[in-house]
Amino acid sequence: MKNGNLIVNIIFGAAIILLFVLYAKKPAGEAVKEPVATEVDTSLDAIFADEEMVEANFPIAYVIVDSVMQNYLYYQKLEKQYQNLVSSEEAKLQKKAEQFQKDVEDFQYQIEKRIITSADAQAKEAELGQRQQNLYAEQQKKQQELAVKEQKLLDQLIDSVHACIKFYNADGKYKIILNNAYQSSVLYAEEQLNITNDILKVMNARYNAAIQKKSK
């Protein structure tokens, strides 16, 4: 079974470059489209009311996605959900495995003490063999189910990241936004191109606003 850190390994283990190339260039003077108004103001002006955004001196920027994921509240929620699911399934399988082991030990005791007939021993051995196969098959099935579940959670996470970056770059000031995570193909980048903190601030602000709206 995949361990509880599998979703982290998939996100961070692969050297994936999140490349966002904005093909449509907005005409000069076109106003930035504001998000739909809600009770919680999640516009960039509101999000960055107390601090300045990174100044766009060049149409390329980068995000350290590892850092974003570790501090993104939505990611933390999804990871916790997956960890709980894995723990629950492991506990169920462990309970069945322990019961199977106990039954095997009881069978061995009966053989040693000769308190079971040859015919019954053969039948019991066949039964235990079938149960062992069933346990293995169930384990494989759970692995596949968890893998599917994990992929769905990962897809939700990636969609959220994409949406937040597009929202942040709604005015088209950046033409390319790269992932400068560990083992990415970006070998060097000036710190002034780093918009990680800005992206994280936007993502958590929008997530908190959605939670507040849902709770009302």
Q: How far is CA 138 from CA 128, 169, 170, in A?
A: 15, 47, 48
Contact 178, 63 (CB under 8 A): yes
Position 209 pLDDT exceeds 80:
yes
Position 127 pLDDT exceeds 50:
yes
Question: Would you state the pLDDT for residue 46?
Answer: 78
Token digits for 212?
Answer: 């507040």
Condensed to tens digits (0 to 9), the pLDDT of residues 149-199 reads 999 888 888 888 888 999 999 999 999 999 887 778 888 888 999 999 999
Token digits for 191?
Answer: 């710190």
The per-residue pLDDT of the chain, averaged, comes to 80
Q: Is the dihedral of CA 44, 46, 51, 52 positive or negative?
A: positive
